[in-house]
């Protein structure tokens, strides 16, 4: 009952005004997370911009548990599995990643289980994935500023955000409905942009890529101007 009540409260807060909705990110919905947050504990889960991590356990796999306090096993994942982790909980060397979504090695997209949360993974069993920040650092001499004022984002149609150019790892398939949402006019006084552009990069095949952030940094990656949806996986339903 407590979880349902808290979920209802969060839903009401997020739907009260559009700017709040625009800033909303996934959060765990268990009692462990909410109790730490409500008591302002120094172990409370903290949001992080760089959200992608790989399983790298000493035993060749990692295990997720229900919460750091309830070590009931939820699942095991072989090394190389990638996780989206936007909140890290605990302090010192006792850190736990709250898993939002999972991408098995070799697969293109991340999946999340809304009915049965994936749980928490010991941060000592994870390493950072090669993400757009790392790519930008490695290719800083090849990346140029992108003039977003000359690009009609809202009329360009659907597109796929990839973790890095030519990575084959899909961060988000931006459907036409999502484009409409991102382009919603929030009024002249809002001062809020629901998407921002970074640099532009031309790959060895001559394809043009643009760095983009949708709403918040966990939806941060690159889309290809010359192949907007090619290779992407669009959710059904």
Q: For residue 37, give the H/E element and its range.
A: helix 31-38
Q: Are the beta carbons of 188 and 173 closer than 8 angstroms?
A: no
Helices (H), 113-204: 132-138, 176-182
Rounded to the nearest 10 degrees, the angle between the axes of helix 31-38 and helix 2-16 is 60
Residue 24 confidence class, pLDDT cut points 50, 70, 90: low
- Residue 159 neighbours by CB under 8 Å, 6+ apart: 174, 223, 224, 228, 229
Asked if residue 12 has pLDDT above 70, the reply is: no
> How far apart (Å, rounded) are the C-alpha atoms in residues 98 and 63?
12
Asked if residue 61 has pLDDT above 60, the reply is: yes
Closest to 171 (Cα-Cα) out of 48, 39, 82: 82
∠ Cα 103 196 231 (to 5°) = 40
> What percentage of the chain's residues is helix, strand, coil (to nearest 5)?
20, 30, 45
Tokens of 72: 């009931």
Coil, strand or helix: which one is 38? helix
pTM: 0.84
Q: Are the beta carbons of 54 and 44 closer than 8 angstroms?
A: no
Helices (H), 91-148: 132-138
Residue 31 confidence class, pLDDT cut points 50, 70, 90: confident
Lowest model confidence (mean pLDDT) among 144-148, 183-187, 207-211, 229-233 = 183-187
Tokens of 222: 């690159």
Positive or negative CA dihedral for 172, 176, 181, 187? positive
């Amino acid at each position: 009952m407590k979880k349902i009540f808290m979920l209802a409260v969060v839903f009401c807060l997020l739907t009260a005004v559009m700017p709040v909705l625009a800033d909303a990110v996934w959060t765990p919905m268990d009692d462990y997370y909410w109790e730490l947050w409500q008591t302002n504990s120094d172990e409370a889960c903290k949001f992080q911009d760089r959200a992608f991590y790989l399983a790298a356990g000493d035993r060749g796999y990692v295990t997720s548990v229900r919460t750091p306090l309830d070590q009931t096993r939820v699942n095991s994942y072989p090394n190389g599995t990638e996780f989206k982790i936007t909140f890290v909980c605990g302090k010192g060397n006792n850190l736990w990643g709250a898993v939002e979504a999972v991408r098995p090695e070799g697969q293109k997209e991340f999946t999340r289980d809304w009915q049965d949360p994936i749980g928490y993974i010991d941060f000592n069993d994870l390493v950072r994935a090669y993400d757009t920040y790392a790519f930008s650092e490695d290719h800083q001499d090849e990346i140029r500023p992108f003039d977003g004022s000359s690009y009609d984002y809202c009329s360009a149609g659907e597109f796929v955000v990839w973790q890095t150019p030519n990575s084959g790892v899909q961060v988000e398939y931006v459907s036409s409905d999502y484009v409409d949402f991102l382009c919603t006019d929030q009024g002249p006084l809002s001062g809020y942009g629901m998407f921002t552009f970074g640099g532009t990069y031309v790959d060895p095949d001559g394809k043009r890529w643009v760095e983009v952030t949708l709403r918040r940094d966990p939806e941060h990656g690159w889309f290809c101007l010359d192949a907007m949806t090619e290779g992407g996986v669009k959710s059904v339903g």
